[in-house]
Amino acid sequence: MSTVQISASDVNKLRQQTGAGMMDCKKALTETNGDFEAAIDFLRKKGAKVAASRQDRESNEGVVIARTSADGKRGVVIELNCETDFVAKNAEFVAFANAIANEAVEQNPANLEELNKLGIDVENSRTTIGEATIDKTGKIGEKISVSKYEVIEGEKVIAYIHGNFRLAVLVGLSKNVAGADEAGKDVAMQIAAMNPVAIDKDGVDATTIERELEIAKDQIRAEGKPEEMVEKISLGKLNKFYKDSTLLNQEFVKDPSKNVSQFLDTVDKGLTVTAFKRVALGA
């Protein structure tokens, strides 16, 4: 047993050097009587230092998980990344991502930083999500990290996962009515396929509108149209952009005779989308 007093600053210093968890660093320093070099070797033998040595690696593979709360009024999406498709398809890796999503639903962190501070049960012990990803990096030998965390709230929130965990969608509906689950899934599939930029034209940011108008005007001028017609025609093209790129105005994929807004109206008068999030792996 070590007789050397291990200070919090020593533990933090070792953590900064290695990327290992606080408890692992404290244990390493305790086991090696405060000898930093020996402590680093101790961690390397456990694989913990792998996290630090792989921080510059690309981790564009992984899984995207969507989950809703028990009352259906809140939903979260998390993206857990790794380096290879082989690891992304591993059942243990997917289970870890699901566990993170479950904690996010239960504890409702405000942002990604707070998410990484949440507690999580891993292999019969309680640690933080941030520490757990470092530990997984050491064990798996690939850089593991949570790169995205999105949350929406509403009267009815539906979660949808598409393409073997490579894309996930959350949809918030204005009312929880009969047929809302099925309708919400249909709208989520629409979002997955069509990737709208906003719910409706009021949600399109000014920069996007300005860019679309400029593109339209350049196209019109290139066609040789007189300058006095440019403004009018460009506004028509902008309306076409709204129809193609905003969710409620898009043709409903399952029934092109209606737009999405009209489809929702057939489910329940006045039913609409209040929020959505679409997270694609690596995007």
Residue 1's pLDDT is 45
Find how far residue 119's CA is from the centre of its chain.
19
Where are the domains positioned within the chain?
8-53, 57-153
Instruction: Give strand pairing partners of 226.
Output: none
The pLDDT value given to residue 197? 96
The closest alpha carbon to 90, from 52, 109, 62, belongs to: 62
Residue 20 has what pLDDT? 72
User: What is the phi/psi pair of residue 267, to 5°?
Assistant: -75, -45
pTM here?
A: 0.78
- One DSSP character per residue, 133-186 reads HHHHHHHHSS--EEEEEEEEE-SEEEEEEETTTTEEEEEEES---TTHHHHHHH
HSE of 133 in the Cβ direction (CA atoms, 13 Å)?
A: 23
Paired residues of 157 in beta bridges: 172
Tens of each residue's pLDDT in the chain, 283 residues: 456 788 888 888 787 666 677 888 888 899 899 888 888 777 766 654 445 555 556 678 999 999 999 999 999 999 999 999 999 999 999 999 999 999 999 999 999 999 999 999 887 788 999 989 988 888 888 889 999 999 999 999 999 999 889 999 999 999 999 999 999 999 999 999 999 999 999 999 999 999 999 989 988 998 899 988 999 999 999 999 999 999 999 999 999 999 999 999 999 999 999 999 999 998 8
β-pair partners for 132: none
Q: What is the pLDDT of residue 206?
A: 94
Which amino acid is it at 153? E
pLDDT for res 44: 67
Q: What's the CATH number for 57-153?
A: 3.30.479.20
Task: Report the run of H or E that residue 14 belongs to, with start and end.
Answer: helix 8-18
Residue count of the chain, please give it.
283
In contact, 53 and 43? CB cutoff 8 Å: no
pLDDT at res. 50: 47
The per-residue pLDDT for 45 is 66
Q: How many other C-beta atoms are found inside a 10 Å radius of the C-beta of residue 211?
A: 12
β-pair partners for 34:
none
Question: With b meaning 16 or more CB within 10 Å and e meaning fewer, what string describes 153-166?
Answer: ebebbbbbbbeebb
CATH architecture group of domain 8-53: Orthogonal Bundle (1.10)
Do the Cβ atoms of 21 and 52 come closer than 8 Å? Answer: no
Q: Which residues of 190-206 are buried (b: 16+ CB within 10 A; e: fewer)?
A: bbbebebbbbbbeebee
C-alpha to C-alpha distance for 221 and 169, rounded to whole angstroms: 39
